[in-house]
Structure 1
Amino acid sequence: MTVSYFALYRTPEDPAAFEQHYFGSHVPLVERTPGLLENRVHRVTRQFVGEPSWFLLAELVFESPEAMEQAFRTEEWAASGADLRSWGGMELVTMFAAEPHPSAAG
């Protein structure tokens, strides 16, 4: 069963500068992570309810919880975290792991 690691970013003060850093440096580093199956990045186009205001959602898909844990111990993963901290992305992000709920399987 696959597992996903989500990074949910609040709307930055300067969205263009955020995207320049995010797609110019962070995404290429993340995509070098061993064991990563997919990196799905979604832009929030409309928020109906709730606070804070969300901007981007990244879904990193791994083959299994074990594969994700192994990926978290790699130099590539550490480099992506260092990059995120270097330009202030850590102040905007909430991160969590999730797997498909058995009751929602179709």
Structure 2
Amino acid sequence: MHKVLVLYPPPTDPAAFEEHYRTVHLPLARKLPGMLACRFTLSVDAGDRPSPYFAIFEADFPDEETYAAAMASPEGQAVGADVPNYATGGAVVLHYDVES
């Protein structure tokens, strides 16, 4: 299993981020070929201090090759090109093989 984790720092306009993320970006991301599942949250809690992240997205792929092919596909290119349209704080993308 290969997991993708996208961490979004706080945007300048949280309401605009959420609107675009839910109505434009997530529908694009859900079209990634080979993706097994995805989930996200806009409720990041860091306990007794402010969270360094506003939102988190997770996706599962069967392996790293499938993830790489998905991101190189037209759908993956559309996902990447859309990020600057809503993520004014940028995005940190991590991906890794899951061990048990």
> Residues of 2 paired with 1:49 and 1:22: CA distance?
27
With structure 2 as the length reference, what TM-score do the two structures score?
0.86
> 1:78-99 CA distances to partner (integer Å, 9 max, x unpaired)?
01111112x1426421111022
**Residue in 2 that maps onto 1:31:** 30
Which has more radius of gyration?
1
Q: 1:100 to 1:22 in 2, by over 3 A?
A: same
Q: Which has the higher strand share?
A: 1
> Residues of 2 paired with 1:4 and 1:49: CA distance?
28
With structure 1 as the length reference, what TM-score do the two structures score?
0.82
User: Gaps (5+ residues) in structure 2?
Assistant: none
| Amino acid in the other structure paired with 2:3 | S
Whether the aligned pair in 1 keeps the contact of 2:16 and 2:86 (CA below 8 Å) is no
Are residues 1:71 and 2:34 paired? Answer: no
> Residues of 2 paired with 1:56 and 1:72: CA distance?
20
> Residues of 1 paired with 2:73 and 2:96: CA distance?
20
- Please tell me the root mean square deviation across aligned C-alpha atoms, in Å: 2.0
